[in-house]
Amino acid sequence: MRILDDIKLDYQDVLLRPKRSTLMSRKDVLLERSFTFYHSPKTWTGLPIMTANMATCGTFEMARILSEYKMITTFHKYYTVKDYEKFFKTFKNPDYICYTLGIREQDMKQLKQMKAKKLLEKFSFICLDVPNGYLQRFLEVIKEVRKMCPQHIIIAGNVVTNEITEEIILAGADIVKIGIGPGSACTTRRMTGVGYPQLSAVIECADAAHGIANEQGVGRIIADGGQQHPSDIAKAFCGGADFNLFGSMWSGFEQSGGETVIKDGKKYKEYFGSSSNKAMEEFYGKKDAHRASEGRYTLIPHKGDIHVFIQDLLGSLRSTATYIGARQLKEFPKRATFIKVNRQLTSYLEKYDKGE
């Protein structure tokens, strides 16, 4: 047994120190980024903000909206080849969509079918998504998928530590997805005791990934889950995240997935974890006997139109940029100084948000 003594940080444990800025207006902040990669020969340009591959936000409807903003929709795993055939009759932009699969036999079977039907080439990104990216089998699947798809930008996760981040990139992934347990619909920490404070995970894994470089590009990471406010997205970028991916903040809108529910005269939308009982029963028919549910089902008060949220989100990032003196998103980690704060301050802010 060993104890790691240094305290690791979540988003709520820090604030950003303001810095001198020469920016004249928030309009002048460039939020778009261009990335090259360690394996894929593609160069990607856009706003590095993504949906989770969850049934409530990783949907075709979201892709139609978010691609207009150059943001990425990571599709949930429950779409079939037929669903994709239909979708691609009217959707033509590969840059802002990501195909997701797990490492089960049927996932590989569908990937092969997608490739054979030339549907895979309609995506820039492929995401290999498992709750526990520390399995040896995961690395083998990454190698296999890289061989099958040499051109694609391959995302793989989830993990939270530096050595495995490096291993996953060397095995064939371009981007490693970081986060075990921070998700709002996730009960892994409660059920298993496993996890890693998310901001520290992002900082340490970004450092590891960016240290893997060749003449074409560097390893990259995605901060996945635990962002409750736009400020958390800014903090993740400041911590070195190349991309931010989240679920609950994309959910609850008119345009999000999930059923609308009316309770006590108020309008809600469903939000549930991918390994909640609800997801397992709805998409796989039943929960395996050997699995415990590590996700929860929640109702999110209806948030209205998603475009208003997107404007607010981008406005907040521009505002963070002006406070820390960054002319572009790329400069966030260079300009950032985090201040550790007393948790009492942030729990006060949370109470304030709830109107308590």
**186 catalytic, yes or no?**
yes
φ, ψ for residue 47, nearest 5 deg? -90, 115
* Contact call for residue 59 and ligand 5GP (CB under 6 A): no
Q: Parallel, antiparallel, or unpaired for β 33-35 and 44-46? A: antiparallel
State the amino acid at position 162 in one-letter form: N
* Per-residue mark of binding to ligand 5GP, 251-280 (x: CB under 6 A): ----------------------xxxx----
179 touching ligand 5GP, by CB under 6 A = yes
| 12 is a contact residue toward ligand 5GP (CB under 6 A) | no
To the nearest whole angstrom, how small is the minimum distance from the Cβ of residue 233 to ligand 5GP?
Answer: 10
The answer to the question of residue 188 lying near ligand 5GP (CB under 6 A) is yes
Question: Contact with ligand 5GP (CB under 6 A): which of 29, 126, 176, 186?
Answer: 186
Q: Which of 57, 98, 149, 186 is catalytic?
A: 186
User: Token match 């394996």: residue?
Assistant: 39
Cα 81 to chain centroid, rounded? 24
On the CB side of 338, how many CA atoms lie within 13 Å of its CA? 22
End-to-end CA distance of the chain: 42
Cβ distance to ligand 5GP smaller for residue 13 or 294:
294
Active site residue 74: no
Site string for ligand 5GP, 213-252 (x = CB under 6 A): -----------xxxx-----------------xxxxx---
Q: Report yes or no: 156 and 166 within 8 Å, Cβ to Cβ.
A: no
Which of 231, 224, 222 is closest to 247 using CA atoms? 224
**Binding to ligand 5GP by residue 66, rule CB under 6 A?**
no
φ, ψ of residue 268 to 5 degrees: the values are: -130, 165
Chain residue at closest Cβ approach to ligand 5GP: 295
- Site for ligand 5GP (CB under 6 A): which residue of 14, 47, 52, 317? 52
Min CB(101)–ligand 5GP separation in Å: 15
DSSP alpha helices (H): ranges in the chain?
A: 60-66, 81-87, 105-116, 136-148, 162-171, 188-192, 198-210, 230-238, 277-284, 306-324, 332-335, 343-353
Q: Which two tokens stand for residue 84?
A: 């994709």
From 188, 298, 320, 322, active-site residue:
188
- List contacts with ligand 5GP (CB under 6 A): 52, 54, 131, 158, 179, 183-186, 188, 224-227, 245-249, 273-276, 294-295
